[in-house]
Amino acid sequence: MSAELISGTRIAEGIRQELAGRIGQLKAKGVTPGLVMVRVGEDPASVSYVSGKSKTSAELGIYSETQVYPENAGEKELLGRIAELNSNLRFHGILVQLPLPNHISEDKVLNAIDPLKDVDGFHPVNVGRMLIGEPYFLPCTPHGVQELLMRSGNSPEGKHVVICGRSNLVGKPLMAILVQKKAGANATVTICHTGTKNMAQITRQADILVAAMGSPKVITADMVKEGAVVIDVGVNRIPDATKKTGFRLVGDVDFDAVKEKAKAITPVPGGVGPMTVTMLMVNTVRAAEMRLAAQRQA
């Protein structure tokens, strides 16, 4: 039996339609949500991600600007720019695309962003608030995974979720989100990582298996329980001479084999990717709504 496909493209579209109503309400009050994206250097994946975010902003009526710095930009210059953006009222959200070049400290840069404008949810204040279950903003990719599960009828509540990968971008925050005693969460969560022994033995216990390791096709069919829900966060570029670009995208899951065992599975592309961009839009609108509410209280 072949698994049901969980379409992130379709689910993201539904969320964007809901968001259009909220943006309309903000505009009626004279507020256009604003997002500024900072990119350093010309990493092809970063260029593509940022232009996707910019295009989606425009489609939704969110004002966006992309500020590009050369690869050799200095850390001080970047920190100065972030200080300016923190006080620029035109922008409700600030996103610094990662990874940054090695000579710039990602920690210093992320710590410099005003937590109330941190639409990526990477500032330590926001990481802490997420962990205690009182978030301003949830990080976009793990929040997108939670929405994909809920909106595809695969609630994580009471389920054993096994996450492969412990990154600060995906694995660790997804654990913090799904373990909360809240609707849409309340799962038993296990994290596997490069130090895990007998990973297949653990992944086979998953009702919901999330692959976020960043290696192509490492989740094979023998690692998946019959009837599991499989979410593939991986985006790996592998050479493909038949493509104009010279590469194609594959996930961390061996899709063709795993789809014969799973109950439901996300494709790559068209699964988690469109959700990440959409949750960034959700956070930008939330930032604008929070500022408006604070102004009305003042």
**Smaller CB distance to ligand GUN: residue 123 or 225?**
123
Interface stretch with ligand GUN, choices 20-28, 90-98, 151-159, 265-273 (CB under 6 A)? 90-98
Tokens matching residue 153: 């009828």
Tell whether residue 118 is a contact of ligand GUN (CB under 6 A). Answer: no
Q: How far is the CB of 293 from ligand GUN (least distance, A)?
A: 25
Answer yes or no: 254 catalytic.
no
Count of residues near ligand GUN by CB under 6 A: 9
The residue number whose beta carbon is nearest to ligand GUN equals 98
Tell whether residue 47 is a contact of ligand GUN (CB under 6 A). Answer: no
Tell whether residue 120 is a contact of ligand GUN (CB under 6 A). Answer: yes
Query: Using CB under 6 A, which residues numbered 224 to 243 contact ligand GUN?
Result: none
Contacting residues for 203 by C-beta, under 8 A, at least 6 apart: 162, 164, 192, 209, 219, 223, 224
Handedness of CA 38, 40, 41, 47 (dihedral sign): negative
Interface stretch with ligand GUN, choices 67-75, 91-99, 177-185, 248-256 (CB under 6 A)? 91-99
**Smaller CB distance to ligand GUN: residue 49 or 255?**
49
Pattern 154-193, ligand GUN, x by CB under 6 A = ---------------x------------------------
Answer yes or no: 107 catalytic.
no
Tell whether residue 97 is a contact of ligand GUN (CB under 6 A). Answer: yes
Q: Which is the catalytic residue, given 97, 117, 172, 254?
A: 97
**Smaller CB distance to ligand GUN: residue 64 or 97?**
97
Cα separation, 232 vs 139, in Å, equals 17
**Smaller CB distance to ligand GUN: residue 4 or 114?**
114
Answer yes or no: 207 catalytic.
no
| Among residues 140, 178, 202, 265, the one that binds ligand GUN under rule CB under 6 A | 140
Interface stretch with ligand GUN, choices 76-84, 95-103, 159-167, 199-207 (CB under 6 A)? 95-103
User: Catalytic site residues?
Assistant: 53, 97, 120
Which residues would be at the binding site for ligand GUN (CB under 6 A)?
Answer: 95-98, 120, 140-141, 169, 276
